Amino acid sequence: MDRILRVRPLVQIAAAIALSLLGAGRAHAQVTFTPAASQTNVACVGLASTPISVTAAGLAGVPLTLTATGAPAFVTFSGGGAATTTSATGTATLSTLSFIPTTAQTGTFTITFTATQAGNDSSPATATVTLVVDNAPTVTLGTPQPGGGYVLCTGQRFQLDVTGADVDPGDSFSLTAAGTPTGASFSPNQGGTDTAGFGGGDFLGASPDIGGPPAPFTTRLQWVPTSADIGTHTVTITAVDAAGCTTTQTITLNVQAPVTTTILVTTTPADLSNVPVGTQVCYNAVVLDQCGNPVANVPVTFAVSGTTGNNTGPVIKTSQTKGKPGKGKGGGGGQVTGIVVTSDANGQAQFCFTPLFPGSDTVTVTAPGAGGVTVIAASPTVTAAAPAATPGAQIWGSGVVDALPGGLLTPAIVTLDIRSRKNGAFTTGLNFVSPTSPPPSRAFTVRALVVDSVTVGQLGSVRTALVFGTANVSGVGALPFRADIIDGATPGVPGDSFVLTLLNPDGTTQVFGGSLLFYNTGDPRTRLLNNIDIRVGTPGF
């Protein structure tokens, strides 16, 4: 049998080989993405985002176009901001620009990256990136941290509530504390109750509410430092949510030995701007250390300087004011002469006095502080007013009066003739004469120059009068005076009294007088002599 050999043309063979090779290339070409075909990227509100970068690679040397769709408006791309790019090399990259999202931009967004390349079997190919814009949890300190940190005093408990919260629905978060000192705890605080058994740095979670944001969660940092802890300690509070967004709050704890730094002063009555003469005034001081805790057994000095007759002695002024420690002139702490009261277990010390004359007093309240400095409190000034004058008041009479116990004068003679005028003024008929006075022995005479006011009152069944004015005092000059007079009996019966108080230039007082002596001689003139009469009638001339 004859075999027939058929020979194909060379051109046809070459074409078949070329088609076979091309078909094999199309079958194996793939578009690959870097990173993988899907990923999740988290952006935290208020923080710069990490750029999203996607690279597509296809046939080498064949132009490839990469396009992004679904990106939110606040996301832009590098290279002019367009969401598409074409590369002639067969490999193309799209990258977003970093941005700082706001609360209004929170949510979950899907960005689809599509790669197209002519002649590639897998074209078009896609990859997705999920962008989550998330609110970081917040950390709120129960007491705002002052500049320089919190000041803690040894032996005294420090407590700080720390609250974490997250506004994102369905989210969860946790609180941790790093760097807590030895002996400190960071534990849940439920209604102010300290929960034991939690050491510093415990991880504390908050479960999310269904369909809503997680409930806020409060923990408490508490510590009682000792002298071994004096110095500075740093604690870092971190809140992190399920998306990985983090908020960090660093607090500084400065441990010091307690010293007196502040004196707080209140008064009774609270308003000292117009206190009636004769009303008791009290200054109430509370001594505090630098941590705001009361300090016991501190000598607190109250010094009165003014014109109401209560001066306690000379005051040496310092440069320190308003309750902060400072140094007096010459580099030393200021010294104050006054009444010393020791603070009690609550750090409290009280000083009371009664204004005797119309006028004003400055009360300086001081205590020793650290390093020999003097702590001075800011305290209000008291202004005392005389009671209203009684229209038609009349006082007359005379008598021999005893000196008060410890008084400087021997019995003296007083004569009174004070009457109210129609124009509201008073006559000045007040004389107080003693034969002798303290060395050098000389006659002592007080004569009224001006009577400012006469106030008539009632004390049970007896009538009283309070007289203020200015008198000429022999050997001294003009001094303010106060006369307390009691008309306690009918003529010839004991019970009247006359007490004279002089206000010295240094703010101190001298007191003279007492009960009228009664001489039962049977002589009507003597009985009338030792008698004072107080009446209220129609103003005279």
> Helix or strand or coil: residue 10?
helix
- Cα dihedral sign, 360-366-372-373: negative
The Cα 357–Cα 354 span in angstroms is 9
How far CA 11 is from CA of 6, 19, 24, in Å, comes to 15, 13, 20
Domain boundaries, given as residue ranges, for the chain: 27-134, 138-256, 260-385, 393-536
Please enumerate in sequence order all residues whose Cβ is within 8 A of that of 412, keeping only pairs 6 or more positions apart, or say none: 400, 401, 403, 432, 433, 434, 435, 444, 512, 513
Q: Which of 62, 74, 4, 66 is nearest to 29 (CA)?
A: 62
Confidence (pTM): 0.63
Class of domain 27-134: mainly beta
Tokens of 418: 């004070």
Q: Look up the CATH number of domain 260-385.
A: 2.60.40.10
Intrachain domains 138-256 and 260-385 with the same fold: yes
Fold of the domain built from segment(s) 138-256: Immunoglobulin-like (2.60.40)
Q: According to DSSP H, which parts of 82-178 are helical?
A: none
The Cα 488–Cα 49 span in angstroms is 94
Per-residue pLDDT in tens (0 to 9) along the chain, 541 residues: 443 333 333 233 222 322 233 333 343 457 888 887 788 899 999 999 999 999 999 999 999 999 999 999 999 999 778 899 999 999 999 999 999 999 899 999 999 999 999 888 788 999 999 999 999 999 999 999 999 899 999 999 999 999 999 888 888 888 899 999 999 999 874 333 222 222 333 334 444 444 566 778 889 999 999 999 999 999 999 999 988 999 999 999 999 999 999 999 999 999 999 999 999 999 999 999 999 999 999 999 999 999 999 998 644 333 333 333 333 333 333 445 789 999 999 999 999 999 999 999 999 999 999 888 889 998 999 999 999 999 999 999 888 887 766 665 667 889 999 999 888 899 999 999 987 655 545 578 999 999 999 999 998 888 999 999 999 999 899 999 999 999 986 655 667 899 999 999 988 898 888 888 765 555 555 555 668 899 998 766 5
Fill in the amino acid letter for 325.
Answer: P
Asked if residue 372 lies in contact with residue 513, where contact means CB atoms within 8 angstroms, the answer is: no
Q: Which of 22, 100, 82, 93 is nearest to 52 (CA)?
A: 93
